């Protein structure tokens, strides 16, 4: 039993406090979706298309239906009334494919759901799926976005033979003039390859329909339970107030669990049909093929500059591989890349054109960073190439072009307003930590010995804390309720839906400090739509900056009420609330938190115009995004005999504003960097020309493992944002955004002696070995 420590004086915010959520996770007693078991629960297995493009001639489900233990088999025709998978993003002229929860007459990607078998256990359900016979008329497919846009390509959707989902143009300043006046123009095609998010827990759903109450209980591994509730209730025509979505323990998301997926709709529909609870757990193979992918850009950059390195303008033509259909944000993601294309630089003139291309592949959507890693990779590669062209040091050209401290709030050519910053500080700090000048000397020495040593820099900027509602597809505010219970203990209900980010701890820190109670007295609850106020969810580095701020303001409201009760009990009009008690400023007499709480609920007497109880709810709408920034410095050495990249040093200096819990912030940076290094060196979703996903299991898709990761030296500069009273900006995606350009710049620098100017990711040993071998022969 926890000790009661209602009163405390020690400040909690800023401390390395170990997490409140960990005891259940380290003892194996947490409840993830697959741990839920209900009386009479059935299991669903989904039969999916092995072809990327085919017409369905016929489906024979008779053998599956006859299998002992199989309760039902459904095909697309049966589920026509179950609606379509939703997309919330909108763009002018957008072509939105109708994606049924089960394919009806044709399939357009490998993994397209075709039929579902519901049985008494998961083995029988899978046996049943294997007994279904589907007669496909296989067509040619297109799995590459550039090929998809070429004349005569296979049409992913027959009604749109050019495979173009949308064209989008944005410009700011006068880019034609900038390029006309430039001393130097550098052009480069840059690919940000398709990646597979791969949270360690796959998706999973348990749907439990209670007909007598017209109530749906949907347990799903999601980052946005309220969004799932609103959308699935609407799609199935159910009452939203009787539709409960629970995100239980969620084993990672990385953006791939923001979406509302076909299976969430399908399972709810099945539970209503069969009047039974039904579970579906995604296999890893399904996760590879059917959960969203990330990135998938082919970018054509042009950067114009003066001889002294001043950047005048940037042009970008961006081909976005959208996949075969849209999930919640699919077409919106590349527009985020355009917003962030100036990076941290003063660049007054920009022009961008996006072409969204359909391919016979899994849809792309938000994967950690969502559009910003692509933008940062582009600008940071281009700045390095410009430096090389001008024979400038890559640090010098960055320092020359950074937005200056006195220019904030800084309006960008893409229409954003950067909140605050000191952009040179993290770069200088990283260079100090690395002893940059000494490193360059070591590099010169290594080159004399024929070694390929590289030093890579990246100065990244992010757009975080999503965000002002007018700039988001589904509202960008966040909610919080704080309750002081009659015992004095505190319950926080938040609309965000953390799944590893640690807000059960950081929100308890905020609450403890504001109310003056111990961290053990605070419980943070989330993820159950029947329990917490409507919320938006956890993504886009928004949870603390937006959700934490909603909590902060709810706490201010509650404190005012606590003071009223305190003043009443002290018979004073001038009291201070601090250290877990209310003190009369004149007499010095005080009354404790527990007594105040008891009095507020016992209500023998009430302060004037005051209701009993101690509860406050606040919905907070942010006025702007936040714009965290930082610099990463990476030292690599490429093995000339094997092509292996050894990361000798990895320095990450991040400025995420005020830091509530350094332990958790470091963890976020490390994990983010791992995903960024993964993209730079190893990870890639590979489809063959027939649209088969070749990297469809962990055997073929190279995930970063413990022995592949370098030691990360993490440091911070602190520039609090004025956008919220906590001064926090968000850090969930920082590492990923900074890492890929820093690593690639480092390897390009290492191989620049061979004439290498650019390399596309992933920098596999095979790719580098071939290049080095060819370079040596030349």
Partner 1 sequence: MTESITVNINGTTYSHDVEPRLLLIHYLREVVGLTGPHIGCETSLCGACTVELNGKAVKSCAVFAIQCDGAKILTIEGMAANGKLHKIQEAFWNEHGLQCGFCTPGMIMTTKQILDRNPNPTDQEIRHGLEGNLCRCTGYQHIVNAVKAAAKVAGA
Closest CA to 757 of 343, 308, 146, 187: 187
Measured between alpha carbons, how far is 192 from 153 in angstroms, rounded to an integer?
22
Cα–Cα distance for residue pair 490/508, rounded to 1 Å: 9
Listed in sequence order, the DSSP H helices in 346-498 are 372-390, 394-401, 424-434, 436-448
What is the per-residue binding string for partner 1 in 622-661, x denoting contact by CB under 8 A? ----------------------------------------
Q: Does 320 bind partner 1 (CB under 8 A)?
A: no
CB 262 within 8 A of CB 85: yes
Output 196 or 245, the one with its CB closest to partner 1.
196
Residue 711 in the binding site for partner 1 (CB under 8 A):
yes
29 binds partner 1 (CB under 8 A): yes
Smallest gap from residue 739 Cβ to partner 1 (A) = 10
DSSP notation for 497-559:
--SSS-HHHHHHHHHHHHHT--GGGEEEEESBTTTS-----S-TT-IIIIIIHHHHHHHHHHH
Decide: helix, strand or coil at residue 17. coil
Which of 121, 239, 396, 766 touches partner 1 (CB under 8 A)? 121
* Residue closest to 344 by CA, chosen among 436, 463, 429: 463
Distance CA 67, CA 124 (A): 8
- Given the rule CB under 8 A, which of 193-201, 418-426, 463-471, 606-614 is the region that contacts partner 1? 193-201
- Residue from 192, 202, 481, 679 that binds partner 1 (CB under 8 A)? 202
Q: Angle CA(31)–CA(33)–CA(36) in degrees, nearest 5?
A: 70
21 binds partner 1 (CB under 8 A): yes
Q: Per-residue b/e over 692-702, b at no fewer than 16 CB within 10 Å?
A: bbebbeeeebb
- Among the listed ranges 156-164, 440-448, 600-608, 664-672, the one in contact with partner 1 (CB under 8 A) is 664-672
How buried is residue 41: exposed, middle or buried, by Cβ count under 10 Å (0-12/13-18/19+)? middle
Task: Calculate helix-pair angle for 372-390, 734-750, nearest 10 degrees.
Answer: 30
3-class SS at 260? coil
State phi, psi for 605 to the nearest 5 degrees.
Answer: -145, 145
698 scored as a contact of partner 1 (CB under 8 A): yes
Give the Cα separation of 479 and 495 in Å (integer). Answer: 5
Among 250, 328, 333, 416, binds partner 1 (CB under 8 A): 250
CB-nearer residue toward partner 1: 601 or 698: 698
Question: Closer to partner 1 at the Cβ: 147 or 285?
Answer: 285
Pick the stretch among 118-126, 258-266, 370-378, 599-607 that binds partner 1 (CB under 8 A): 118-126
- Taking the C-alpha atoms of residue 242 and residue 268, their distance in angstroms, rounded to an integer, is 13
Q: Which of 50, 173, 252, 613 binds partner 1 (CB under 8 A)?
A: 252
The tokens for 216 are 């749906």
Judged by DSSP in three states, 300 sits in strand
Contacting residue, 7, 13, 30, 346, with partner 1 by CB under 8 A: 30
User: Quick check: 703 binds partner 1 (CB under 8 A)?
Assistant: yes
Q: Is 501 in the site for partner 1 (CB under 8 A)?
A: yes
Task: Give the residue, chosen from 663, 686, 715, 754, that forms a contact with partner 1 under the rule CB under 8 A.
Answer: 663
Q: By C-beta, is 254 or 477 nearer to partner 1?
A: 254
Pairing state of beta strands 278-281 and 42-48?
parallel
Contact range with partner 1 by CB under 8 A, out of 237-245, 350-358, 539-547, 668-676 = 668-676
Of 395, 412, 392, 394, nearest in space to 403 by CA: 412
Smallest separation (angstroms) from partner 1 to the CB of 197:
8
Which CB, 500 or 540, lies closer to partner 1? 500
CB of residue 287 to partner 1, shortest distance in Å? 9
Q: Which residue has the tokens 């992913």?
A: 156
Taking contact as CB under 8 A, which single stretch among the options 26-34, 306-314, 338-346, 407-415 is the one that binds partner 1?
26-34
Q: How far is the CB of 125 from partner 1 (least distance, A)?
A: 13
Q: How far is the CB of 323 from partner 1 (least distance, A)?
A: 21
Does residue 768 contact residue 751 with C-beta atoms inside 8 Å? yes
Min CB(303)–partner 1 separation in Å: 32
Q: Of residues 55-74, which lie at the interface with partner 1 (CB under 8 A)?
A: none
Number of residues that bind partner 1 (CB under 8 A): 58
Cα angle 174, 175, 178; round to 5: 95
Q: Which stretch binds partner 1 (CB under 8 A): 32-40, 303-311, 341-349, 581-589?
A: 32-40
User: Whose Cβ is closer to partner 1: residue 296's or residue 502's?
Assistant: 502
Applying CB under 8 A, among 674, 685, 693, 771 the residue interacting with partner 1 is 674
* Contacting residue, 2, 9, 28, 588, with partner 1 by CB under 8 A: 28
- Residue 172 binds partner 1, judged by CB under 8 A: no
Length of the chain: 778
Q: Is 671 in the site for partner 1 (CB under 8 A)?
A: yes
* Other residues' Cβ atoms within 10 Å of the Cβ of residue 411: 13
Closest CB 756 distance from partner 1, rounded Å:
28
Stretch near partner 1 under the rule CB under 8 A, chosen from 81-89, 495-503, 562-570, 686-694 = 495-503
- Residues within the interface to partner 1 (CB under 8 A): 18-19, 21-32, 34-35, 121-123, 198-202, 249-252, 254, 281, 283-284, 499-502, 663-664, 666-667, 670-675, 697-699, 703-707, 709, 711-712, 735
């Amino acid at each position: 039993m926890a000790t009661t420590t209602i009163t405390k004086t020690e400040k909690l915010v800023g401390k390395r406090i170990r997490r409140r959520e960990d005891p259940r996770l380290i003892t194996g007693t947490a409840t993830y979706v697959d741990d839920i078991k209900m009386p009479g629960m059935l299991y669903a297995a989904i039969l999916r298309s092995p072809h990327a493009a085919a017409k369905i001639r016929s489906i024979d489900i008779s053998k599956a239906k006859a299998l002992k233990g199989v309760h039902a088999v459904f095909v697309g025709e049966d589920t026509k009334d179950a609606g379509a998978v939703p997309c919330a993003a909108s763009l002018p002229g957008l072509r939105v494919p109708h994606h049924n929860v089960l394919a009806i007459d044709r399939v357009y990607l490998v993994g397209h759901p075709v039929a579902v078998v519901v049985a008494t256990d998961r083995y029988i359900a899978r046996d049943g799926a294997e007994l279904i016979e589907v007669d496909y008329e296989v067509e040619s497919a297109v799995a590459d976005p550039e090929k998809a846009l070429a004349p005569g390509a296979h049409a992913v959707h027959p009604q749109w033979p050019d495979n173009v989902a949308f064209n989008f143009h944005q410009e700011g300043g006068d880019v034609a003039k900038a390029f006309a006046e430039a001393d130097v123009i550098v052009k480069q095609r840059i690919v940000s390859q398709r990646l597979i998010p791969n949270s360690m827990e796959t998706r999973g759903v348990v749907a439990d329909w209670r007909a007598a109450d017209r109530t749906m209980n949907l347990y799903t591994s999601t980052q946005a339970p309220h969004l799932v509730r609103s959308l699935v209730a609407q799609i199935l025509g159910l009452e939203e107030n009787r539709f409960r979505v629970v995100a239980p323990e969620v084993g990672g998301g990385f953006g791939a669990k923001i979406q509302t997926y076909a299976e969430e709709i399908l399972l709810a529909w099945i539970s209503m049909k069969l009047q039974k609870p039904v579970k579906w757990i995604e296999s890893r193979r399904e996760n590879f093929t059917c959960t969203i992918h990330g990135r998938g850009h082919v970018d054509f950059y042009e950067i114009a500059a003066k001889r002294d390195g001043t950047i005048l303008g940037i042009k970008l033509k961006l081909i976005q591989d959208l996949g075969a259909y849209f999930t919640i944000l699919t077409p919106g993601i590349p527009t985020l890349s355009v917003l962030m294309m100036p990076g941290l630089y003063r660049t007054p003139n920009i022009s961008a054109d996006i072409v969204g291309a359909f391919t016979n592949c899994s849809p792309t959507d938000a994967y950690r960073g969502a559009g910003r890693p692509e933008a940062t990779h582009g600008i940071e590669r281009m700045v390095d190439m410009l430096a090389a062209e001008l024979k400038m040091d890559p640090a010098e050209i960055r320092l020359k072009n950074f937005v200056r401290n006195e220019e904030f709030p800084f309006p960008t050519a893409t229409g954003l307003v950067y909140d605050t910053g000191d952009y040179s500080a993290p770069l200088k700090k990283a260079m100090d930590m690395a002893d940059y000048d000494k490193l360059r000397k070591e590099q010169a020495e290594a080159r004399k010995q024929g070694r390929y040593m590289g030093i890579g820099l990246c100065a990244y900027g992010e757009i975080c804390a999503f965000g002002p509602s007018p700039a988001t597809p589904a509202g960008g505010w966040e909610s919080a309720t704080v309750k002081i219970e009659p015992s004095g203990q505190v319950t926080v209900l938040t609309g965000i839906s953390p799944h590893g980010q640690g807000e059960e701890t950081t929100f308890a820190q905020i609450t403890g400090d504001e109310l003056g109670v111990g961290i053990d007295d605070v419980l943070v609850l989330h993820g159950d739509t029947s329990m917490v106020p409507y919320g938006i969810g956890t993504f886009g580095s928004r949870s603390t900056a937006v959700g934490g701020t909603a909590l902060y303001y709810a706490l201010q409201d509650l404190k005012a009420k606590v003071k009223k009760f305190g003043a009443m009990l002290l018979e004073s009009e001038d009291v201070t609330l601090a250290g877990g008690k209310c003190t009369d400023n004149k007499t010095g007499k005080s009354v404790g938190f527990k007594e105040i709480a008891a009095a507020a609920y016992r209500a023998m007497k009430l302060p004037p115009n005051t209701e009993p109880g101690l509860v406050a709810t606040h919905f907070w709408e942010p006025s702007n995004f936040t714009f965290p920034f930082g610099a990463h410095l990476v030292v690599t050495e490429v093995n000339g005999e094997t092509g292996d990249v050894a990361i000798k040093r990895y320095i990450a200096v991040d400025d995420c504003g005020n830091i509530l819990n350094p332990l958790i912030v470091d963890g976020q940076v490390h994990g983010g960097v791992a995903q960024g290094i993964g993209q730079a060196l190893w990870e890639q979703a590979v489809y063959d020309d027939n649209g088969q996903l070749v990297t469809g299991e962990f055997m073929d898709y190279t995930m970063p493992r413990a022995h592949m990761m370098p030691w990360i030296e993490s440091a911070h500069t602190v520039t609090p944002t004025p956008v919220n009273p906590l001064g926090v900006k968000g850090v969930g995606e920082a590492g990923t955004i900074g890492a890929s350009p820093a690593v690639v710049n480092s390897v390009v620098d290492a191989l620049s002696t061979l004439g290498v100017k650019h390399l596309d990711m992933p920098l596999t040993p095979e790719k580098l070995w071939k290049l080095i071998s060819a370079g040596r022969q030349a």
